């Protein structure tokens, strides 16, 4: 169980009361909030900068669901010719779109080995490095 302490963001301090004075205990579970289909969900860490334009940065944690149907505009994780990629799906034009000016769209062809591994449903920014053993 997580103890939740509601603290309103303010530009300055107006009083001396402790922000923890009226804390509330909530039955809060991050897996219940972040994961819609536990048996079809996996986590992955981002490498590279091709998706920074949509707020996905190196070392972010992605929550990826295999239970979701891929729609145009979805951020997906896929295997493309044996390499894991994270891109925006354009199902109509059969393209993979990076959201960085340094990376071009990729036009899928019949010769490509392409498998969608899942749809990114959430991403989490890690402000401190993880402890050893997680990466």
Residues annotated as catalytic (active site), given as ranges? 50, 87
Q: Specify burial of residue 70 (Cβ count, 10 A radius: 0-12, 13-18, 19+).
A: middle
What does the DSSP 8-state code read for residue 97? E
Q: Specify burial of residue 53 (Cβ count, 10 A radius: 0-12, 13-18, 19+).
A: middle
Length of the chain: 135
């Amino acid at each position: 169980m997580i103890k939740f302490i509601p603290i309103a963001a303010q530009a300055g301090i107006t009083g001396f009361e402790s922000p923890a004075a009226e804390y509330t205990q909530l039955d809060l579970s991050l897996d219940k909030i972040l994961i819609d289909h536990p048996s079809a969900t996996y986590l992955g860490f981002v490498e590279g900068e091709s998706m920074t334009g949509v707020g996905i940065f190196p070392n972010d944690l992605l929550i990826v669901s295999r239970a979701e149907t891929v729609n145009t505009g979805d951020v997906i994780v896929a295997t493309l010719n044996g390499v894991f990629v994270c891109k925006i799906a354009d199902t109509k034009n059969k393209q993979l779109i990076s959201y960085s000016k340094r990376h071009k769209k990729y036009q899928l062809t019949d010769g490509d080995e392409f498998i969608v591994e899942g749809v990114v449903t959430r991403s989490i920014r890690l402000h401190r490095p993880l402890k050893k053993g997680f990466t």
